[in-house]
Structure 1
């Protein structure tokens, strides 16, 4: 079993806990069906316990692509409550600043454009960023005030969705490394007030959307019925933006051995090599050579060629 389980992660569950839930479901199915094979499982991008929504879980050979998911762009819906800032920049923290300024819809729309494009952003103190080998949130919880450097991120789009008394809900399409809690903080400050995130939902991560996401209840039900495979997306679903490259069985064998294929005239860049319908490797073509970026341990049957 190699592919992706796209979870609609519930509120309060951490990404590591979500991976553990998938492992338990796979174990339940294995015990039901009498199998013995165990599968590697990993997630394709951390999602805070506060947040809900799309969490790609890689199974088997798809775990080799989990790192690529970390580099992908993402889309979030989030609500900013104005008037209070917390130390964690979300609902879970304690209030550290207050303001009587509550901006209106027109004020919010006026500042959104200032945040679109490449911007510098300081991540939250309560984040997993490492400072001299220690996690920033561990330092903060111990009473220290870690100094976190700003980083360059990209906001591709930032749109107004709705508003209620004292709060506004926005949609942000962002690059890797973007902290929505920091974005909310900075939007509030630009409006002359303070604020924090009260709702955060990821609706897209790389190629994966809520349309293919499943709940933990549905996953558990499938595990008890031995049908998890029917919920999984193929390994190649994480590479929909990569052009396919057909290779011969001999070329596939060479790639599986990590060898370079020379004399190619395919376009420079990443390609997904297939032996029939079986993915062999993510490869990069340059100057006539094809080199393996990430190989997959998947062997075809005769009918797959």
Structure 2
């Protein structure tokens, strides 16, 4: 009787590249679709994104390639800036242009009424996410339940609004805003709640994300710019041109303490072992940090009890 053949480990498809692409996502293009396109363009082994943008929203979508996917949670926690337009007079099922009209009003707010309301939307506030959102209810996505016609009770939760600014009121039906907010804030819900408080209803008619900390607006690259390189026939030349837009993986960790270590310490960390933190300038506060050796990212870990303990290591 012949012995069963051992299953061979399959080699991952694509290149083992690591870094961030700060995509300027176009309107009417899904975040998952954008990640798939970038992964294919760069021939990357794996890819992920930090913070979904609705198809009807444009702007910054940070996409992690390779080992950079290990740093996604730190970007997800970063502050975000959005510019958005609210159209007054209707409340819709999706809180944006796609939804059906739920309520309507002929009332329109004046500029002073809007400005007077905005302090109520600054600081830590309670916000109920939209019915059409990725929030999980009993293991199901809220948007799946909503699409099936099921009424969904989504509990309100705390979100942080650092500032919200009225930029302009071009006409009686619309107002332009900018908001800087923390993780988990739904701008569509802001538009809905502003409309309710102003007794006129409202929905998002335009939305653009201009920042996801630590990445600034000038780091964005339009999708059409990257797609242009498909015309380069030589594969190595094409990939080299694309790789010029990669941002180093460690840039995602710029808000964390940075440890510069030697080769021996790097080896210990890659084996999963802690290293001692010595010297007058050694950090003592218990917090997350990252370590580099020879300018390359080695590990993300915890500082505690005079040690740096690795949680994620990098090749």
Superposed CA offset, 1:108-136 (max 9, x none): 10000111000110000001111111111
CA contact (8 A) 2:42 2:243 kept: no
Instruction: Select 1:271's aligned residue among 286, 289, 310.
Output: 289
1:178 equivalenced with 2:190 (yes/no): no
Looking at structure 2, the residues matched to 141 and 263 of structure 1 have their Cα atoms a distance apart, in angstroms, of: 54
How many residues align? The count is: 287
Higher relative contact order (CA 8 A, sep 6+): 1
CA contact (8 A) 2:18 2:65 kept: yes
Matches within 5 A, 1:207-222: 207-222=214-229
Between 39-48 and 115-124, the greater mean CA deviation after superposition: 39-48
The residue number in structure 1 matching 2:313 is 295
Looking at structure 2, the residues matched to 10 and 277 of structure 1 have their Cα atoms a distance apart, in angstroms, of: 34
1:205 equivalenced with 2:212 (yes/no): yes
1:263 deviates by: 5.0
The residue number in structure 1 matching 2:69 is 63
Matches within 5 A, 1:64-103: 64-103=70-109
With structure 1 as the length reference, what TM-score do the two structures score?
0.91
Q: Name the SS for the 2:54 alignment partner.
A: coil
The residue number in structure 1 matching 2:174 is 167
With structure 2 as the length reference, what TM-score do the two structures score?
0.88
Instruction: Select 2:155's aligned residue among 144, 149, 152.
Output: 149
Looking at structure 2, the residues matched to 73 and 242 of structure 1 have their Cα atoms a distance apart, in angstroms, of: 14
CA contact (8 A) 1:262 1:288 kept: yes
- Gaps in structure 2 of 5+ consecutive residues: 1-16, 233-237
> Considering only aligned residues, what root-mean-square deviation do their CA atoms show, in Å?
1.3
Superposed CA offset, 1:33-61 (max 9, x none): xxxxx421111111111110000000111
CA contact (8 A) 1:101 1:192 kept: yes
Looking at structure 1, the residues matched to 272 and 129 of structure 2 have their Cα atoms a distance apart, in angstroms, of: 39
Between 219-228 and 177-186, the greater mean CA deviation after superposition: 219-228
The residue number in structure 2 matching 1:22 is 38
Looking at structure 2, the residues matched to 46 and 208 of structure 1 have their Cα atoms a distance apart, in angstroms, of: 15
1:111 equivalenced with 2:129 (yes/no): no
1:221 deviates by: 2.1
CA contact (8 A) 2:164 2:177 kept: yes
Looking at structure 2, the residues matched to 192 and 270 of structure 1 have their Cα atoms a distance apart, in angstroms, of: 45
* Change in CA separation of 1:263 and 1:234 when aligned onto 2, cut-off 3 Å: closer
Looking at structure 1, the residues matched to 63 and 48 of structure 2 have their Cα atoms a distance apart, in angstroms, of: 6
- Gaps in structure 1 of 5+ consecutive residues: 28-37, 298-305
Structure 1 runs (4+) deviating above 6 angstroms are none
Looking at structure 2, the residues matched to 113 and 286 of structure 1 have their Cα atoms a distance apart, in angstroms, of: 40
